[in-house]
Structure formats: C-alpha cells, structure tokens
Amino acid sequence: MALGQNPWDYGNGYETGKETTEAYRCFKIFLQLGRERTLTLAAEVGQVKVDKLRQYSSKYNWTERASYHDAHMVEEWGRQVEDQFENTHKKELLKFRKNQQRRAESLGKVADLLIEVTTGTLEDMVASGERVDTQQLAAVARTAGALSEAAMNTAAAALGVDDLMEAIAPEEG
C-alpha cells in the first residue's frame, strides 16, 4: 500500500516506524464510525482487542489524524451543500425567466389585439358617422397602454434574470 497525501492516509500517522496494513485497517474502521467513534466500538467492529487499538492509536496518532479527516469531510460537505444550493438557485432563476418571457409574450399579444380591435372599431364608427365616446376611447387606450407597459416590464424582468445569471456564472453565459 502506497503512502497517501493526506494526514489520515496510509502511512502518514507514524512516528516510530511504518504503519502496518492491519493498523491502517483498524484506523479506517475507527474513522468510519464518525461521531460514534471510540476505540472500544472500533475494536468490536474490527474484531480486535481494545488494548491493541490503544497501542495503534497512540503509535500512529489516530486522534490527530481523525481530526484532520473530520475537518476535511466538513469542508467537503460544505462544498456539496453550496454546489447543490447554487444549482437549485440557478434552476429556479431559469424557470422564473422562462415564465416571465411567456407572460411578457402573452401580455404583448393581448395589448396588440386590444389596440387592433379598438382601432378597427374606431375606424368603423368614424366611417359610419357614429359618435365616438371619448371617455370609453380613453379607457381603452389606458388599458392598452397599461398592458403594453406590463409586457415590457415583464420582459425586462426576464432580461434582468439573464443579467443575474451572467453575474453568477459568466462562463456558462
């Protein structure tokens, strides 16, 4: 078995001679116990006398090496949680952008249709000499304007998500 790069790897815990494969096997059991880690439990799981494990632990610095291992694992778990959060956040942003784009298109179509219908109706009224209700015309114009503005704001929100995504992960653009 080759020496490892980390303090908890094979061969890196000895002060007085080379760590045996049996000692390392027991150390790995000790590590895997995590929070429940005790020499007594490791001896039981590894089917070794607890006195033997006390010798190994002292000779090969198990407590210190386990501390390094635990600190490393906490960092790893932290990175995994951070990556998972980032991926979930990106997915939700993309979903929001897609919904905003769909809403913007729908609002734009409704505004265009309202303007088209109103224009057609107004042209027909003028052509037939019918009196045009200016208050009604103003209300329709305000509604069409509000719909157009809502469509533009919704589209801008979708574009804002694009800018945010670029700021979060420029390489994925």
pLDDT tens-digit series, residues 88-102: 877 887 788 788 888
Return the closest-CA partner of residue 52 out of 15, 22, 29: 22
Q: What angle do CA 64, 17, 19 make, to 5 degrees?
A: 60
The two structure tokens encoding residue 90: 């990106």
The pLDDT value given to residue 130 = 84
Q: Are 56 and 27 in contact (CB under 8 A)?
A: yes
Both structure tokens of 17: 């001679």
The answer to whether 148 touches 91, Cβ cutoff 8 Å, is no
Cα–Cα distance, 164 to 162 (Å, whole number): 5
Question: Is 24:17 a contact under the CB 8 Å cutoff?
Answer: no
pTM given for the model: 0.48
Of the spans 4-13, 21-30, 132-141, 146-155, which averages the highest pLDDT?
Answer: 21-30
| Domain ranges, ordered by start, for the chain | 1-60, 86-168
**108 pLDDT above the threshold of 50:** yes
